Amino acid sequence: MGDLSEASARAPKQDRSRATRRRLLEAAVACLAERGWAGSTVAVVAEHAGVSRGAAQHHFPTREDLFTAAVEYVAEERSHALRALTGKSRADVVSALVALYTGPLFRAALHLWVAASNEDQLRPRVTELEARVGRETHHIAVELLGADESRPGVRETVQGLLDMARGLGLATLLTDDTSRRERVVAQWAKLLDEALG
């Protein structure tokens, strides 16, 4: 009996710990997107998440730990959402891929990249994270688009599409250019469809 009640007490504690971690990660992405790297400290994120600073530092010893984990966490959430698109038309898949780069996750990631380009402590971790997330997104895109990478040029065609999506995300940073973006995406989805055969 003693063991059982101990085990059931442990489970909710783990759940609470996981929930706290998730709240911190989501608050970190929101802070980065809204305030940029300079305005995003562990203390600001902890307050935003309604978590004590001590608890935040228990989960993430350094600021770099917190923010790279945050961008990775949200990127993984997005990957799961993307995989659910299996079976949709290429035009729908292209729209969904581009949408990945126009929301708060991309804004947050952009702030992290730009900060990393000038901060030696952050750069190696963000570079490694970006490479990993990029490979994963490419892999999912190839599957969803039904692209045959054994054919010459197909790999580069898909890569260029993701580069375009990233560029479209950058264009929305200062102004909402949704209607222009939708026209560009519709046209490039057509070009892509012809190229992939």
Q: Which residues bind a second copy (CB under 8 A)?
A: 34-36, 38-39, 107, 110-111, 113-118, 123, 126-127, 130-131, 134, 153, 156-157, 159-160, 162-171, 173-175, 180, 183-184, 186-188, 190-191, 194-195
CB closer to a second copy, 141 vs 168:
168
CB of 52: closest distance to a second copy in angstroms? 27
Q: Are 68 and 112 in contact (CB under 8 A)?
A: yes
Q: Are 63 and 116 in contact (CB under 8 A)?
A: no
CB of 82: closest distance to a second copy in angstroms? 18
CB closer to a second copy, 19 vs 186:
186
CB of 190: closest distance to a second copy in angstroms? 7
DSSP string for 82-103: HHTTTT--HHHHHHHHHHHTSS
- How crowded is the C-beta side of 161, counted as CA atoms within 13 Å? 35
Q: What is the largest CA-CA distance in the chain?
A: 67
CB of 91: closest distance to a second copy in angstroms? 14
- Using the structure block, give the residue that is written with the tokens 């608050």: 27
